[in-house]
């Protein structure tokens, strides 16, 4: 048993006895092992496998049959199918992300004030965070229905040129809650003195918004931007719920994740794996950008 003095030393991170030190490490391992097992089996192992499977051609049963090296990577990632998926995903992002940022700011600025009943409005604005992408898809399935819908443009979801825009309407609505809560948190973190100082300077509300508020919430907007972009790259549920034929028409709403889903059968595993790695690389680059930009601009607590 360690003495009181040793315990005190431990508290300052100074180690005294080797046995108690290793006993602590064993306890740490015990505490970490559930997470290590799950991450190992369902994050790292599958990642290693999709990278490796991409190097092999499959037979029908999904066995890794023939080593083809990186050629399958260049074939698939440079191929029409993946490029179309990436293009569709980028179109989805182009529609949903700017709209998400703008509407998030609009909702948050409107709801960030002392008014009776403001909590009710805040709850309403937050509500879509409980609505899953799939539920949003089903809701707009009826709203955009050409026979019984509210918006009855017969072609919105049937024309390959506009289908992704139709899908994005549902996505923008579903993102409102998340955009709102994130921007509102940013606004509420602005120190009162800053706003008061600006009021004393006699700046009008518009000028105050652009010269004081917007710069101060820019790190939060950047955070929201990254969240929305990454969500965009992972888009699947809404499209699966809303489009008929799924991913259609003519594959115009097939995102990268949709393509991965379509290539889930054993005989397509090699191709699907390459696409998974492609998705990883894209997400990795976006996240890396987030860190390099965010680290420079945001001061996190220790």
Partner 1 sequence: METDSVAKKAGWYLLLTLLSLVVLLPVWFAFVRSLSPPITLKDGGLQLLPQQAEWDVFSRAWRNGNLGGALVRSFVVTIAITFFQVVTSVLAAYAFAYLWFPFKRLLFALFMATLLLPIEVTVLQNLATVSNLGWKNSYQGLIVPFLATALGTFLIRQAFLGVPRELLDAARLEGWSHWALMTRLVVPLSRPVIAAFTLISFLGAYNQYLWPRIVTTDPQNWGTAPIAVQSLVSNPESANVIVAGALVIAFPVLVLLVLFQRHIVRGLTAGAVKG
Q: Does 247 bind partner 1 (CB under 8 A)?
A: no
User: Smallest distance from the beta carbon of 156 to partner 1, in angstroms?
Assistant: 14
Cβ atoms of residues 77 and 271 within 8 Å: no
**Residue from 84, 94, 139, 293 that binds partner 1 (CB under 8 A)?**
139
Residues 68-97 that bind partner 1 (CB under 8 A): none
Residues 25-44 that bind partner 1 (CB under 8 A): 25, 27-29, 31-32, 34-35, 37-39, 41-44
Q: Does 64 bind partner 1 (CB under 8 A)?
A: no
**Residue from 19, 78, 80, 115 that binds partner 1 (CB under 8 A)?**
115
User: Smallest distance from the beta carbon of 62 to partner 1, in angstroms?
Assistant: 7
Q: Does 61 bind partner 1 (CB under 8 A)?
A: no
Sign, CA torsion 84/179/230/244: negative
**Residue from 17, 71, 127, 211 that binds partner 1 (CB under 8 A)?**
127
Residues 269-288 that bind partner 1 (CB under 8 A): 269, 272-273, 276-277, 279-280, 283-284, 287
User: Smallest distance from the beta carbon of 175 to partner 1, in angstroms?
Assistant: 11
- Total interface residues for partner 1 by CB under 8 A: 108
Q: Does 293 bind partner 1 (CB under 8 A)?
A: no
User: Smallest distance from the beta carbon of 78 to partner 1, in angstroms?
Assistant: 20
Q: Does 14 bind partner 1 (CB under 8 A)?
A: no
DSSP the chain: ---HHHHHHHHTT----HHHHHHHHHHHHHHHHHHHHHHIIIIIHHHHHHHHHTTEEE-TT--EEEE-TTHHHHHHHHSHHHHHHHHHHHHHHHHHHHHHHHHHHHHHHHHSS--TTHHHHHHHHHGGGSS-HHHHHHHHHHHT-TTT-SS--TTTTTSTTTHHHHHHHHHHHHHHHHHHHHHHHHHHTS-HHHHHHHHHTT--HHHHIIIIIHHHHHHHHHHHHHHHHHHHHT--HHHHHH-SSTT-STTTT--HHHHHHHT-SGGGHHHHHHHHHHHHHHHHHHHHHHHHHHHHH-----
**Which one, 54 or 251, has the nearer CB to partner 1?**
54
User: Smallest distance from the beta carbon of 302 to partner 1, in angstroms?
Assistant: 8
Q: Does 207 bind partner 1 (CB under 8 A)?
A: no
**Residue from 17, 71, 145, 211 that binds partner 1 (CB under 8 A)?**
145
């Amino acid at each position: 048993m360690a003495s009181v003095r040793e315990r005190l030393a431990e508290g300052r991170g100074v180690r005294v006895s080797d046995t108690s030190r290793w006993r602590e490490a064993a306890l740490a391992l015990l505490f970490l092992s559930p997470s290590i097992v799950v991450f190992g089996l369902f994050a790292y192992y599958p990642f290693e496998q999709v990278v490796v499977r991409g190097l092999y051609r499959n037979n029908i049963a999904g066995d890794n049959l023939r080593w083809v090296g990186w050629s399958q990577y260049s074939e698939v990632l440079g191929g029409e199918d993946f490029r179309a998926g990436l293009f569709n995903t980028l179109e989805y992002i182009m529609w949903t992300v700017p709209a998400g940022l703008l509407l998030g700011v609009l909702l948050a600025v409107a709801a960030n004030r002392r008014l009776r009943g403001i909590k009710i409005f805040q709850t309403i604005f937050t509500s879509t965070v409980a609505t899953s992408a799939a539920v949003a898809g089903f809701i707009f399935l009826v709203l955009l229905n050409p026979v019984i819908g509210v918006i009855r443009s017969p072609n919105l979801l049937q024309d390959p040129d506009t289908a992704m825009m139709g899908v994005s309407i549902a996505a923008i609505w579903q993102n409102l809650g998340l955009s709102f809560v994130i921007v509102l948190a940013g606004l509420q973190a602005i120190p009162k003195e800053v706003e008061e100082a600006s009021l004393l300077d006699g700046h009008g509300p518009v000028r105050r918004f652009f010269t004081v508020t917007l710069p101060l919430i820019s790190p939060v907007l950047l955070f929201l931007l990254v969240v929305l972009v990454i969500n965009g790259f992972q888009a699947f549920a809404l499209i699966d719920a809303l489009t008929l034929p799924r991913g259609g028409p003519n594959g115009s709403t097939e995102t990268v994740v949709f393509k991965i889903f379509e290539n889930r059968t054993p005989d397509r595993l090699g191709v699907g794996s390459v696409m998974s790695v492609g998705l990883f690389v894209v997400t990795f680059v976006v996240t890396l950008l987030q860190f390099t930009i965010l680290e420079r601009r945001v001061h996190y607590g220790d």
